[in-house]
Copies of this chain bind each other. A is one copy, B any other.
């Protein structure tokens, strides 16, 4: 299936015509959960994850055997404004590191038994500096959305999306500020570890960008004006997964900002998605709250690369293993209180 969209209105149509969860499958899952040999509710989030997963997979077996992790990489015009502790060439260097198996996400994908796909997006052609003009024109934004859409493996049984891109916490902060309000300082954090002086520059760049694109009317326009190719690609992948009924675990602050653009443009657009973890990037908790997403994990991560969501795959596997494999009270001859 090739992307069936050529402008942002086509994406808006796809957001209006999304499949919904299979309520019968979810109800079956909830009923089975109530029969399993444990006190009701005692598996907490693991129970909720199993019911959620079965709702999206319908009749399919509730088992994770083909997880896919996609890391999208992009470069940002605002990097030239000195908003990062690392130079822009690190994006391409880290893509090479991913391709040679040396990054954190390579190890985490192996532990999770997941296929890892790395998708660099025109790294030699950074987006425009969003304090001066929209980060992407419509054609660039559509190409990035389509790259995300096309990168999803239709046979995956869970999708994890993440990113790499020097300066992309600046883009994410600008998106959050534009869509959720508050000051630039509220959303601007230390990213890979900037000092106080850079943090002030970063906040002023965010403020300038938000002010310049104040007319952007919805999440997709904000994504185009303030985002970046890897953010648009993550949005495209999350949307494709929805149409394929593949449950999604999304990663930290930048990924959440991309998800927020979908959430803003299409209510319910993230019902098939869970937040893998809470990053230490300052605004992440509030960003998740705005989407009504409780993070699965809180491990003090702030790396990106889909790292937190990759760890969360194991938690989802645990949830499904319990749901599918446990005996019922009747099967086990256990008194149910």
Contact = CB atoms under 8 A, between A and B. Distances in A.
B307 A193 contact: no
B107 A332 contact: no
Interface stretch (A17-25, A97-105, A202-210): A97-105
A45 B300 contact: yes
Given A100-B327, A326-B103, A94 B301 contact: no
A271 B331 CA distance: 41
Interface string A29-66: 00000001111111111100000000000000000000
The 7 closest A-B pairs by CB, nearest first: A44-B300, A102-B327, A314-B314, A107-B321, A39-B192, A107-B325, A42-B303
Contacts of A102: 37, 325-327, 331-332
Interface in A282-337: 296-303, 307, 310-311, 314-315, 317-318, 321-322, 324-327, 331-335, 337
A318 B45 CA distance: 20
A94 B210 CA distance: 58
Contact of A38 (B37, B101, B303, B324): B303
B85 A39 contact: yes
Interface residues of A, number: 60
A311 B315 contact: yes
Contacts of A37: 94, 97, 102-104
A245 B108 CA distance: 26
Contacts of A311: 46, 314-315, 318
A108 to B, nearest CB: 6
A332 B98 CA distance: 10
Nearest to A103: B37
A89 interface: yes
Contacts of A43: 104, 301, 303, 307
Contact of A321 (B111, B303, B315): B111
B96 A335 contact: no
A76 to B, nearest CB: 16
B90 A335 contact: yes
A299 B37 CA distance: 19
Interface string A68-98: 0000000000000000011101100110110
A327 B93 contact: no
By CB atoms of chain B within 10 A, which of A93, A280, A325 has the most?
A325
A183 to B, nearest CB: 25
A65 to B, nearest CB: 13
B332 A46 contact: no
A256 interface: no
Contacts of A96: 332-333
Nearest to A64: B111
By CB atoms of chain B within 10 A, which of A40, A321, A331 has the most?
A321
Contacts of A100: 327, 332
A97 B38 CA distance: 11
Given A97-B327, A107-B321, A193 B40 contact: yes
